[in-house]
Amino acid sequence: MRVISGVHKGRRIQAPKNLPVRPTTDRSKEGLFNILQHRLDFKSIQVLDLFAGTGSISYEFSSRGTKYVSAIDQNRSCVQFIKKVAIDLEMKIIAIQEECFRFLEQNSISYDLIFADPPYNFEIDDYKKIILLSKKSLSKKGIVIIEHFKQMKLSEIQGFSFDRVYGNNVFSFFYLYKKAGL
């Protein structure tokens, strides 16, 4: 994987092969950040990366200067890898080993953007649960972005705004407050 923009632009990060992840492709990530770069002031936001895996999305946000990123994953090896990269590259990333739903239930920090890339075998009720639990952790102008397989349609979930398709990946954007939005 590579960092697309920011202070670490072009940096390649090699994740261990034994991690149980499906990293966001560079093409999809580039598409996502093309949408976000003209709509967000990265330097003023706090980001929550759920199901962080290799940390690819966390690295991209941090490289672009976000206040900080909380990267949550239940896999110990993933969290250790994210911590190591964050230290090596002096990134403002806090990696936490925790089951993502439990983290959302217990969290008391307000985030401006919540990104979730859950396993592709999630059911519609699992995605609804992400949205429901995210509302407590989201600032009033915040956004939730969920990456999912294109066969899963999330447009019927409350707060859905729009989606973008990149190959087999889809990013669905949710505004959980009426005056929120990019």
Could you list the pLDDT tens digit for every one of the 182 residues in the chain?
899 999 999 999 988 888 878 778 888 999 999 999 988 999 999 999 999 999 999 999 999 999 999 999 999 999 999 999 999 999 999 999 999 999 999 999 999 999 999 998 899 999 999 999 999 999 999 999 999 999 999 999 999 999 999 988 999 999 988 655 55
Give me the pLDDT at residue 15, please: 86
Are 12 and 63 in contact, with CB atoms under 8 Å apart?
no
Q: Which amino acid is at 74?
A: Q
For 46, list phi and psi in degrees, rounded to 5.
Answer: -115, 135
Give me the pLDDT at residue 99, please: 97
For 166, list phi and psi in degrees, rounded to 5.
Answer: -130, 95
Q: Are strands 111-116 and 46-50 parallel, antiparallel or unpaired?
A: parallel
For 160, list phi and psi in degrees, rounded to 5.
Answer: -60, 135
Q: What is the pLDDT of residues 104-140, one digit of tens each?
A: 999 999 999 999 999 988 999 999 999 999 999 999 9
- Which domains, from first to last, does the chain contain? 26-174 (3.40.50.150)
